[in-house]
Structure 1
Amino acid sequence: MVALILGLVAFVGTNKSVVLTVDGQSSDVQTFGGTVAEVLQKADVQLSAADRVSPDPDTEVTDGATIEVFKAKTVDLTLDGEGRTVSTTGKTVADLVSELRVSSNSAVSASLDTALEGLDDPLSISTPKTVTIMMDGTSYDRPTTAGTVKDLLDETGITLAATDRVSAPTSAALVDGMVLKVTRVQSGAEETVKEPVPFDSTEVPDPELTAGEKKTTTKGTAGEMVRVFRTVLVDGREVSRTLVSETVSVPPVAETIAVGTKKKEAAPAPAAPAGGTAPSGGNWAALAQCESGGNWHINTGNGYSGGLQFSASSWLGAGGGQYAPIAAGATPEQQIAVAEKLRANGGWGHWPACASKLGLL
């Protein structure tokens, strides 16, 4: 009897009443002691690695103790554009945001007091970040919680033309420190350019003009070409142009030049000088043979040139400039014609040495 009484006392002394709460659902559990883990095992509460238990599973239980079990649940979410599945023991979106240790200023696709059990769609969280925007010749930093490039463009009111370019795809996720460049491309602008069209020049034989003589009979005039280009501008600067059309608005007028073909007439025979022998082609040839060795185009640089060794002043003074700048550039006939003028004004004394030698003085 004593042993029975002692056993009953021991049973009553070791029996404990524990309140077990699993995800907010409470129940009373009778136990003979042991640890929290043993109580949960006896209550058939299965734990995963992500579940949270308070107090710690190794804690010894006491009578009247409370054990709380927070079963982990999985949540699909996108954090700054990166999709993932997380396990959490939180009850609300706010609990999850706190567990993830993201900024409280983050943009969240659901209100913070929304129960995680009530989420219909994956949760989207975008943390605060600063993006540098370069556009239209300016650059500035933009704090934002937008998730993608498109979200940022919408947020800032930046409108893109169909031809504009962005340095990152509009679907790309934003990251802190990102540099986003918007390039304005203007395509299809047309530019009209007027350019001169050169005229052609044609030479036509003319039997009325002496050989070597030229005369412009039709004056040439340049025309005008109108070219239309389509240009491409990038940030206001031209990077390419394509010819769309070209039209001759004013046609050029060709120049016509008459070129003489008539043979030159021989120089007339010189008249006989008073008191002297009448000069002849033979006399001039003999004089040239004496003066220059018969070389009608000689120019030694001594101030005299041509077959009859004209000085520059004598040649030009007697009208030789109409044939050539110096006598060496003229034909023998032209030189004789000039010599005749000199002889008419001064006789054979213009060539004293050779004229005396030839008996012309």
Structure 2
Amino acid sequence: MLLATALSVLLAGCGGGGSARPKAAADAPRADAPAPRKVVIVVDGKRTETMATGTTVRQVLGEAGITLGRYDLVKPAVDEPAGELVKILRLLSAPKTLVVKVPPRTIRKKSASVPPWDEKVLRPGRPGIKIVTWAYVRRPAGKGGKLKPVKKVITQRIRRKPVTRVLAVGPESAGTGAAARLNWRGLANCESNNNPKAVNPAGYYGLYQFSMASWASAGGTGKPSDASAAEQTYRAQVLYNKVNGRWQGQWPNCGKYLFG
């Protein structure tokens, strides 16, 4: 018994015994450690590259020494797996959402069945709806490049598409009988100095100084001074025919130039 015990002590002191395992070196690399990889980080459009081992966006940004602000937008989100690209938009405020109307387009189709210079609605338009998200960001302003808060649209999406408005439009010229052969340029020169945008504070508009009532009686819409010169001439000729050539009630001072 004493001999067996002494033999065991002797073997232990000499490093004997097949069950002992050598201690691993302290600086040996772990087999499961991820290898560094290149990640591109774009902050407010400015691109940088970094080598990172983190698996999430948060870890990658931490390795790159990038601190996020309270309202900053990050894509992918901070707790999602990090790929090869991370985008950050610095915000000074929480994003806000607006509902914006999108005006419809208007298509005009020529039609011989519509009176000259008139329009007929074939299909009424309908505005669309757009959802816009915006926030304040800090951007250079002015020549000095001084930073100041400005509004920036972050996202926008169409909730409802606009419906195009369709109009049938009559010809932009038409015969008005004998009235077309009169000297309308002479009348316009006397009434407005040939200025289709002329406005008299007394309530007269355009080349021929229509009143709103006389313009409407000739089929005009809106203000005469907003219509083209050609339409104003056409409406003046319609008005002349409508009153059976009694021009004195419409142009008492300048009407004589129609016959010059």
State the TM-score bracket (shorter-chain normalisation). 0.3 to 0.5
Larger radius of gyration: 1
More strand by share: 1
Structure scoring higher RCO (CA < 8 A, sep ≥ 6) equals 2
